[in-house]
Structure 1
Amino acid sequence: MKKSILNLGKALNKANQKQINGGRSSSCNTYSGPPCYGINNGVCGTCSQYQALPQEHKSCVLVHADCEENNPS
């Protein structure tokens, strides 16, 4: 069972890993905003604030699925 689970998908290189939401890149060193967006807990930013982020900083934060531009809801 373990071998079959480990063989799912493909291994990602460093560049691919950095494209995944939350993957750290060197541009994250310059990011100083909230750690998350779209969750109403007093710490996170709003979805509109997330949309205004530069693309290189969007991978530095956690974001609720409702904030994604192509979200059908």
Structure 2
Amino acid sequence: MNDDDLMKVKICFIGDAGVGKTSLIKRFVLDVFDDRYIATIGTKVTKKIVEVNDQGTNVKVMMLVWDIMGQKGF
């Protein structure tokens, strides 16, 4: 199955700096947790493919997860 056959969704994490947006994304996408704080500079996009059940049919969904830095003014 190539990327054209997948349902695609975009998820943007926004919020104040230092609240854990990047930690949540790393835990969901990579299944890792790092308790060190490293500020996100700019925007980082990661991809995860998940399988969901839609009324008895399994559907593969490509999630583009956007990590948007939380500093004021951006």
TM-score (ref. length: structure 1): 0.27
More strand by share: 2
More helix by share: 1
TM-score (ref. length: structure 2): 0.26
Q: Which has the higher contact order (CA 8 A, sep 6+)?
A: 2
